[in-house]
Amino acid sequence: MSNADQVDLRIALHVSEDCTSGPISVPKPVQISSLAISLDERQSTELRRRLLPKEWRGNIPWDILIELYVNELSRRPTTVKQVGLAADAPCATVHRHLANLVDRGWIVRDQNHRDQRVVNLSLTTDAFKLIEGWSDSRIKQLKSLIDRY
């Protein structure tokens, strides 16, 4: 088994162990790695929240984008409340960042058809490609580190 296969296997195992909220159906093998990298990013953010003072913590827009990306790969709808919890930020702050992300063309807001009070969020194609590019570069970095050691 090559190093690349071992990395893919470890990433696939990481995904299956990490996602306890339900089955994940991922259409492409590349997205499995992207999902694993994004889940790892989300876990790193949660760890920083537990260990670091509040003023040192993460980047709210990035946390929102990662949450949307993970949920889209997992085929789960995402609400404003969910991204607010993921970003661990006050409601007004989340809404301000969402407005900026919408203005940038990275997020789309849609009214939930079953409950008009709920707003569903999704990534635009541009944002999805941005995060895939980021995750692909992270995967290359990790494979490079493994190959080196």
Express each pLDDT in 117-134 by its tens digit.
999 999 999 999 999 988
- Local structure of 77: helix, strand or coil: coil
The pTM for the full model equals: 0.68
Output the six-digit token pair for 17: 């162990």
Domains delineated in the chain: 3-148 (1.10.10.10)
Is pLDDT above 90 for 51?
A: no
Which percentage of the chain shows pLDDT scores above 90?
39
* Closest residue by Cα to residue 73 from 138, 19, 120: 19
